[in-house]
Amino acid sequence: MTIEQLMSFLEEDLGFGDITSDLLIPRGLKAKGVIVAKERGIVAGVEEAEMLFKHFGVNVKINRRDGNVVNPGDVIIEVEGEARSILMVERTVLNIMMRMSGIATETKALVEKIRKAGLNVKIAATRKTAPGLRALDKKAVIIGGGEPHRLRLDDAILIKDNHIALVGSVKEALQRARENVSFVKKIEVEAKTLSEALEASESGADIVMLDDMKPEQIREVVQYLKNKGLYGKVLLEASGGINPSNVIEYASTGVHVISLGYLTHSAKALDMSLEITT
């Protein structure tokens, strides 16, 4: 995220200026402030906050870096500089940090849940990010220990149900893809049934996404692939309807990756505030 992109977020909030601070706070008045966590979680967005404050000449002391745990009352960042600048940037910085930290916190919770269950399954995001925030949403997932998955449509081949509906069959779709795909790209196929999953695995997919399947269906696919000697040769991703309460059940089926749209499309912000201390 370049400073130009962060500035566009500030300008969206600013319009022609922070008219309240301009009326109340004399130019040249210096102030100190702290960004304080109001909930327990994983902090993210600290790099972006630092860039924005520094762009306006505000000094920044980082107490908690991206990925650190914070508890209520923890000071994440200390700032010192022109009071008007701190107040002008406040909301934009908090909006960025609260969203990113919320995503990182939820991702980390799932990652830890799986780790504690002794499982070795990755937690991945999807392309269901907030429009315009793909880069920050994916970065927050990574900070939380998750996996970004495809960054964009041009990142890897992912043959979805709509493609298969138009092409006719998983096999035909995979064949067309393999003939022309760039050698630097992987091919993933979305399968909704055992037979589609097998067809994909046998036709050379690198990854098979088992979409909207129940854990027992997934176990069946895994068993079948093991019988065929294909398990381990193709990566298995579970997706659809997975949430914190059933994630362990899915994670113990034998899949390698679990992807969850809600990490980014329904991100719950981590509460923080900026408090002027002088």
Q: Which residues of 46-60 are buried (b: 16+ CB within 10 A; e: fewer)?
A: bbbbbbbbeeeebeb
Q: How many residues bind its own copies (CB under 8 A)?
A: 93
Residue 155 bears catalytic tag: no
Residue 160 bears catalytic tag: yes
With beta carbons less than 8 A apart as the criterion, state whether 176 and 203 touch: no
CA distance 21 to 27: 10
Catalytic residue (choose from 32, 38, 54, 128): 128
C-alpha angle 28-60-48 in degrees, rounded to nearest 5: 110
Which tokens hold the place of 16? 């022609």
CA distance 173 to 204: 11
Assess 173 for contact with its own copies (CB under 8 A): yes
Which range in 67-75, 194-202, 247-255, 265-273 contacts its own copies by CB under 8 A?
265-273
CB of 118 to its own copies, least distance (A): 19
Assess 124 for contact with its own copies (CB under 8 A): yes
Looking at residues 214 to 253 of the shown chain, list those that interact with its own copies (rule: CB under 8 A). 235, 237
Looking at residues 68 to 87 of the shown chain, list those that interact with its own copies (rule: CB under 8 A). 83, 87
Residue 78 bears catalytic tag: no
Assess 8 for contact with its own copies (CB under 8 A): yes
With beta carbons less than 8 A apart as the criterion, state whether 184 and 212 touch: no
Looking at residues 19 to 78 of the shown chain, list those that interact with its own copies (rule: CB under 8 A). 19-21, 23-25, 29, 31, 33
Catalytically active residues, by annotation = 91, 128, 160, 190, 211
